[in-house]
Amino acid sequence: IKIKITNIDIPVAFASAFEGEIIRRGDMQVEFDGSRVDCFELVQSKDVTEIEDHKIEVIGPDLDEFEVGSKHNIGYIVEVGGKSMQSDFEPVFERKFHSYLNCVEGMMHTGQRDMIRIRISKDTYNAGFRAKHIGEVLYAKVKSEFAAVVDKCQVKVITDPEMCTKLRHELAIPSFDKRDERLSTLTDEGVDVYYSCIMCQAFSPSHVCVVTPERLGLCGAVSWLDAKATNELDPQGPCQVITKGGLIDERTGAYQDVNDAVRKYSQGALENVTLYSIIEDPMTSCGCFECICGIEPLSNGVCIVNREYAGMTPIGMTFPELASMTGGGVQTPGFMGHGKHFIASKKFMKAEGGIARIVWMPKELKETVAERLNATAKELYGIDNFTDMVGDETVAEDPETLLAYLEEKGHPALSMEPMM
Ligand code: SF4
Ligand code: ZN
């Protein structure tokens, strides 16, 4: 492997070759785990005058003070300023931290926002890597990749547990909620353009995501606002404007302009793509979908399964089995990859009748989306507690048992038009 070392002031190598590196429990010096303790990563835009460029502050104990193999809090705030900086760019920078930190030799990062997990290996620690180096990496990468909009950047790395808890709840979560709220007020009808995303063509050469306000990228990490910001930051980059001209079919969300864009950005591999149908010219899937949705013929509905779920589904396939037939950038009518957030969207499979088609989801996923999904079901069909009607692995892992459950609950999919 050819290792290109970027000029960052850290005691270990920095290269994309380390991105897939796994650090096992026995090899780790220390772990930060957002699923157990308060952790977060956050970008905040500030006035340039409030920022001292390249100031890296560590607040709390450094890695030396942690026992080998122990779990701790961490929070880091990257403060940026510049004439052309916009707060809409913040999540776009944040999304890159995953890749930046994984490029550090002996460092592993997963997740985003306040659900991050980081491991630092013993070798990297012994080479002299400390908390401030996390700040050095983020500073150097943000300054170099976003030079067009970032004039000054400073980083706070917080390991003090009380401060992490306080800042997570008083600063980070309110910032994330504010962003989500801003997005939730946008509709597909209410905007003038959509965006393409081809970030995944590196491994799925013909794959194109069409990102709309009500349908985020299937990875779950690229919302319409993110795609818009990505386009503004890098006009020749992975996200391009798609105009909404040439409506072909409102029901399926078919537009001539969308078809033209998809054909262009897939180098002709794709002809037609609809925004709202799983059967008629569905969107393609790369490999990084958070969930897969597939038709379950007996119940006249669809099952959704998330990546974390290891068991069987009533479709008769597990997540990896479904993924192997859904991924790769080809259209597979009846199956599609999508983000978790899309499940509660009014545009979810709108062409086939919408969320009323959902008959099964793993329990954990159901609980995650329940509040938003139930609100959508109430609004669209006047149904209360819709998720109570949806099966999960505790109810059934085969179609017959599932059907009996749906009949007992009076699930709306049973009286809908046949899907196939
Ligand atoms: Fe972009 Fe789609 Fe890949 Fe997400 S899954 S990065 S939206 S191409
Ligand atoms: Zn992808």
ipTM of the complex: 0.99
**Ligand nearest to the Cα of 215, by number:** 1
Domain with CATH 3.30.1650.10 in the chain: 16-181
- Residue whose CB lies within 8 A of the most ligand 1 atoms, among 218, 231, 284, for a mutation test: 218
What are 186-217's pLDDT values in tens digits?
999 999 999 999 998 987 889 999 999 999 99
Say what percent of the chain tops pLDDT 90: 89
- Residue whose CB lies within 8 A of the most ligand 1 atoms, among 96, 98, 99, 200, for a mutation test: 200
pLDDT (0 to 100) of residue 203: 79
| Residue range 193-415 in CATH 3.40.1470.10 | yes
Domain with CATH 3.40.1470.10 in the chain: 193-415
Phi, psi (rounded to 5 degrees) for 398: -135, 155
Atom of ligand 1 nearest to the CA of 238: 1
Q: Whose CA is nearest to atom 5 of ligand 1?
A: 219
Q: Whose CA is nearest to atom 3 of ligand 1?
A: 200
Atom of ligand 1 nearest to the CA of 221: 4
What are 403-413's pLDDT values in tens digits?
999 999 999 99
What's the distance, Cα to Cα, between the start and end of the chain in Å? Answer: 49
- DSSP calls for 262-328: HHHHTTTS-----SS-SSSSPPP--S--SEEEEEEGGGTEEEEEETT--SB-TTS-BHHHHHHHH-T
What are 278-318's pLDDT values in tens digits?
999 999 999 889 999 999 999 999 999 999 899 999 999 99
| Residue range 16-181 in CATH 3.30.565.10 | no
Q: How many CB atoms lie within 10 A of CB 417?
A: 7
What are 28-74's pLDDT values in tens digits?
999 999 988 999 999 999 999 999 999 999 999 999 999 999 999 99
Q: Which residues are close to ligand 2, an ion, with C-beta < 5 A?
A: 200, 286, 288
168 or 183, higher pLDDT:
168
CA distance linking residue 107 with residue 109, whole number of Å: 7
Find all residues with CB under 8 Å of 343, minimum gap 6, and list them.
291, 304, 355, 358, 361, 365, 369, 372, 373
pLDDT (0 to 100) of residue 5: 43
DSSP 212: B
What are 115-148's pLDDT values in tens digits?
899 999 999 999 999 999 999 999 999 999 999 8
Task: Assess whether pLDDT exceeds 50 at residue 114.
Answer: yes
Q: Which amino acid is at 391?
A: G
State the average pLDDT for the chain.
94
CA distance linking residue 358 with residue 304, whole number of Å: 7
Cβ neighbourhood burial of 240 (10 Å; 0-12, 13-18, 19+): buried
In the structure, what pLDDT confidence band is assigned to residue 6 with cuts at 50, 70 and 90? low
CA distance linking residue 32 with residue 121, whole number of Å: 12
Atom of ligand 1 nearest to the CA of 216: 7
